Chains A and B, each alone.
Chain A
Amino acid sequence: MYNETVMKHFKNPTNAGDMECVDGCGKVGNPSCGDVMMVQIKVDDGKITDAKFKTFGCCAAIAASDAVCEIVKGKTLEEAAALTKDDIVKFLGDLPCVKIHCSILGIEGLQKAIEDHKARTASTV
């Protein structure tokens, strides 16, 4: 049901886990199936230098989470904020129709992490 790229990211997600000194963290729930995803980002000079995820979700959700983290590394916060689910789906090749919502989860997690980062930096200025 999933293509090889999806299965690769599902089998061996390289960006899974926790990060030390987090600069932004976003936790979101999937309203369709009740799954949960958390994205952590490290930001240096307006650029995302590292991203990690934790996901309670299906194969597609895990693969999409891993993909999001992969894609955002090296991107500016603006570039990262402009990403959409289509970028994830494209990165993964394709996702079954019923699983598109799992990639939205990844994007929402990322956006929340960026917002969280902004809130943190705003309050420290």
Chain B
Amino acid sequence: MTIYLDNGATTAVDKEVVEAMLPFFKDKYGNASSMHHAGQDARKAVDDARQKIADALGAEAKEIIFTSGGTESDNLAIKGAARANKEKGNHIITTKIEHPAVLSTCKKLEKEGFSVTYLDVDPDGLVSPESLEKAITDKTILVSIIHGNNEIGTVQDIAGLGKICREKGVLFHTDAVQSFTKVPLDVSLLPVDMMSISAHKIHGPKGTGALYVRAGTRLKPLMQGGSHEFKMRPGTENVPGIVGFARAAEIALAVDVSKITEVRNHAFKQIIKEIDNIKVNGPRDEMRLCNNINISFANVEGEALGSYLDIDGICVSTGSACSSQTLEPSHVLLAIGLSKEIANGTLRMTLSKHTTKEEIDKAVESLKKHTEKLRAISPLNTVLENVQ
């Protein structure tokens, strides 16, 4: 029995999505750049998919660039915009809680001579509009702020933050990989110039994503090749992936997220009731992704706890240093002010539309058992005050 509570990592592909994709492997396998009918069938499928993704975002089809996923979208947005706007300035602003795809890209640009400001966040992970406003200088060309945080679920007020950028004439990019289809996103109303999204977080296939680029925004492509994707992303289109992405978005947009929220809130309630000396990380309710749970368990190390859960068939992820290759605890947890020790005892559980309350109850039971077991053999006895 598997209880999969790691949908922030990836999701199960919907059956309808697989069905939509299948013809494009074997029967309609044409190259969308070919002029014959086989190629034109593929072209039409890609065009239709582009329109569907555009509709999902309130964008125009020509503003959607298909990529290999969230990481590539973030790279294209940040490097592409920075390099294309170099003559205007060399300053970029981002936050301390970005996905590595953004943080590492910014670090790379620092080596290219750009200067980057990493904004602090409050204990819930929220960026203050004032700090953004203060950080913008006449050298600033780009701001990149994650919409829904992948670890602690914080949803930023991108309307407010984007407005500041717009007023100052600075490009605004947001990584909406986790929030896409979970939080309403309409770029016709939002002051956002670029937005990264990905298929495999919304029950679509891995290896496909998109970058929304507002018409008129200057970008430099990352790769050289053919003139695919409006000359922004060369390479033969991943037709099955793109078709699957569009279908997944259609299905995901029809999902009632309040149902996921309800299961999530049930989980919070049960965990708080059953296990003491814990801390809920990230904000409550509307400022939080509907499927995100992030909790620190005092005196328990996350990899050990996660592994015990895994033995019971429960998949979660952890912010612990031990489970990261760098042996550093999650930068997000440190940015919201957790000590290394508490960050090391943190689990993330991310739900999907398939998660049931019964699964949650089983997971909580297992969580309680193993937390007790690990606490019994822990040499630490920290007491957390901040139980929400």
**A contact set with B: CB distance below 8 Å:** 10-11, 13, 16-17, 27, 32-38, 53-62, 98, 101-102
A-B residue pairs in contact (CB < 8 Å), sample of 16 = A11-B308, A27-B379, A32-B327, A33-B322, A33-B327, A33-B329, A34-B321, A34-B341, A36-B380, A53-B377, A54-B379, A56-B300, A57-B322, A59-B303, A62-B304, A98-B327
A54 neighbours in B (Cβ, 8 Å): 377-379
| Docked complex: B277-303 residues within 8 A CB-CB of A | 299-301, 303
> Which residue from chain A places its CB closest to the CB of B377 in the assembled complex?
A16
> How far is A36 from B339 in the complex, measured between Cα atoms in Å?
14
> How far is A43 from B246 in the complex, measured between Cα atoms in Å?
68
A56 and B321 within 8 A (CB): no
A58 neighbours in B (Cβ, 8 Å): 301, 303-304, 320, 322-323
A35 and B378 within 8 A (CB): no
A101 neighbours in B (Cβ, 8 Å): 327
Cβ-defined partner of A35 (8 Å) among B322, B325, B377: B322
> Which residue from chain A places its CB closest to the CB of B375 in the assembled complex?
A56
Cβ-defined partner of B325 (8 Å) among A10, A60, A98: A98
| Interface flag for B33 (CB, 8 Å) | no
> How far is A38 from B311 in the complex, measured between Cα atoms in Å?
25
| Interface flag for B266 (CB, 8 Å) | no
| Interface flag for B85 (CB, 8 Å) | no
Interface size on B, residues (CB 8 A): 23
B311 and A11 within 8 A (CB): yes
Please name the 5 residue pairs, one residue from A and one from B, whose CB atoms are nearest each other, closest first. Answer: A58-B322, A33-B321, A54-B379, A16-B377, A38-B379
B300 neighbours in A (Cβ, 8 Å): 56
B308 neighbours in A (Cβ, 8 Å): 11
Is chain A's interface secondary structure helix, strand, loop, or mixed overall? mixed
B323 neighbours in A (Cβ, 8 Å): 58
> How far is A61 from B375 in the complex, measured between Cα atoms in Å?
15
| Interface flag for B383 (CB, 8 Å) | no
B344 and A37 within 8 A (CB): no
> How far is A55 from B344 in the complex, measured between Cα atoms in Å?
13
**B contact set with A: CB distance below 8 Å:** 299-301, 303-304, 307-308, 311, 320-323, 325, 327, 329, 340-341, 344, 376-380
A13 neighbours in B (Cβ, 8 Å): 377
A17 neighbours in B (Cβ, 8 Å): 376-377
> How far is A42 from B380 in the complex, measured between Cα atoms in Å?
22
Cβ-defined partner of A59 (8 Å) among B307, B321, B329, B344: B307
A-B contact count (CB 8 A): 68
Cβ-defined partner of A56 (8 Å) among B327, B329, B378: B378
A61 neighbours in B (Cβ, 8 Å): 301, 304, 322
- A24 CB to nearest chain B CB (Å): 15
> How far is A59 from B322 in the complex, measured between Cα atoms in Å?
9
A56 and B303 within 8 A (CB): no
B303 and A55 within 8 A (CB): no
CB within 8 Å for A34 and B340 given contacts A58-B303, A59-B303 = yes
A55 neighbours in B (Cβ, 8 Å): 377-379
> How far is A57 from B378 in the complex, measured between Cα atoms in Å?
9
Given contacts A16-B377, A33-B320, A56-B301, 16 further A-B contacts (CB under 8 A): A17-B377, A32-B327, A34-B329, A34-B341, A35-B344, A36-B380, A37-B379, A54-B379, A56-B299, A56-B378, A58-B322, A60-B322, A62-B304, A98-B327, A101-B327, A102-B322
B379 neighbours in A (Cβ, 8 Å): 27, 36-38, 54-56
- A83 CB to nearest chain B CB (Å): 21
> Which residue from chain B places its CB closest to the CB of A38 in the assembled complex?
B379
**Interface-centre pick from B304, B308, B377 (highest chain A CB count, 10 A):** B377
> Which residue from chain B places its CB closest to the CB of A39 in the assembled complex?
B379
CB within 8 Å for A57 and B301 given contacts A34-B344, A38-B379, A98-B325 = yes
- A70 CB to nearest chain B CB (Å): 15
> How far is A46 from B355 in the complex, measured between Cα atoms in Å?
57
A38 neighbours in B (Cβ, 8 Å): 379
- B205 CB to nearest chain A CB (Å): 26
Cβ-defined partner of B301 (8 Å) among A16, A32, A35: A35
**Interface-centre pick from A53, A60, A62 (highest chain B CB count, 10 A):** A62
A56 neighbours in B (Cβ, 8 Å): 299-301, 341, 344, 378-380
**Interface-centre pick from A11, A33, A62 (highest chain B CB count, 10 A):** A33
- B316 CB to nearest chain A CB (Å): 14
- B344 CB to nearest chain A CB (Å): 6
> Which residue from chain A places its CB closest to the CB of B344 in the assembled complex?
A34
> How far is A27 from B380 in the complex, measured between Cα atoms in Å?
11
> Which residue from chain B places its CB closest to the CB of A101 in the assembled complex?
B327
- A95 CB to nearest chain B CB (Å): 13
B344 and A10 within 8 A (CB): no
